[in-house]
Amino acid sequence: MFQLDFKSGVPICDQIVNGFIKLKALGVLKGGDQLPSVRALASKFSVNPNTVQKSYAILENSGIIYSVKGKGSFMSDDETAANAVLESARLEFMAAVRHANDLGLDVDEMINLIKQNSTTKEDGDK
C-alpha cells in the first residue's frame, strides 16, 4: 500500500488517486484485484470517507478501476487502464517540466537531469 503525506500540500484525494495509479503501474495491483472499501481505506488513512469516494470516482472515470454494485471496486485489466496510467505519468511529467522551467531551469539542464535519473538507458538495457 502507499502512504499519505498530510504536509505535502498535495490534496489527499490526488494522493490516493496517484497511489493507486502507481501501484497499478508497478504491477503491485493487477486487473481484477479488489480495492479496499471506501470505509476501510478512510479508516486506515484517518481521512473523510467522502475523500476516498471522490478518489475512487476519479479512478473510475479514468478507466483505472471499475465498481460492481454490492461487491466493491476492482482494478481494470484492459488497455484503457494501462493508457490511463501512462497518461497520468505524462501529465505529472509535463507539470514538473513547467514548474522547473518557471523556476529557471533551462531545457539542456532538464534533459541532463532526465538522463541522470532515468532507469532505462538509451540502448534499451536496464
CATH code (residue 41): 1.10.10.10
What are 55's three cell numbers? 478518489
Identify whether residues 38 and 22 lie together within a single domain.
yes
C-alpha cell at 68: 460492481
What pLDDT, on the 0 to 100 scale, is given for residue 120?
Answer: 64
Number of domains the chain is built from: 2
What whole-number distance in Å separates Cα of residue 13 and Cα of residue 50? 9
Same domain as 74, residue 18: yes
Q: Are residues 69 and 97 in the same domain?
A: no
Mean pLDDT of the chain: 89
Question: Could you give the CA distance from residue 13 to residue 120 in angstroms, rounded to a whole number?
Answer: 31
pLDDT (tens digit per residue) in 14-24: 999 999 988 98
Q: How is 17-72 classified by DSSP, letter by letter?
A: HHHHHHHHHTTSS-TTPBPPPHHHHHHHHT--HHHHHHHHHHHHHTTSEEEETTTE
How far apart, in Å, do the first and last CA atoms of the chain sit? Answer: 25
Query: Would the pTM of this model clear 0.95, i.e. be above it?
Result: no
- 53-89 tens-digit pLDDT: 999 999 999 889 999 999 999 999 877 777 777 887 8
Long-range contacts of 16-21 (CB under 8 A, 24+ apart): 16/41, 16/45, 16/51, 16/52, 16/55, 17/55, 17/58, 17/59, 18/88, 18/92, 20/55, 20/59, 20/64, 20/65, 20/75, 21/59, 21/64, 21/84, 21/85, 21/88
Residue 112, domain extent: 81-117
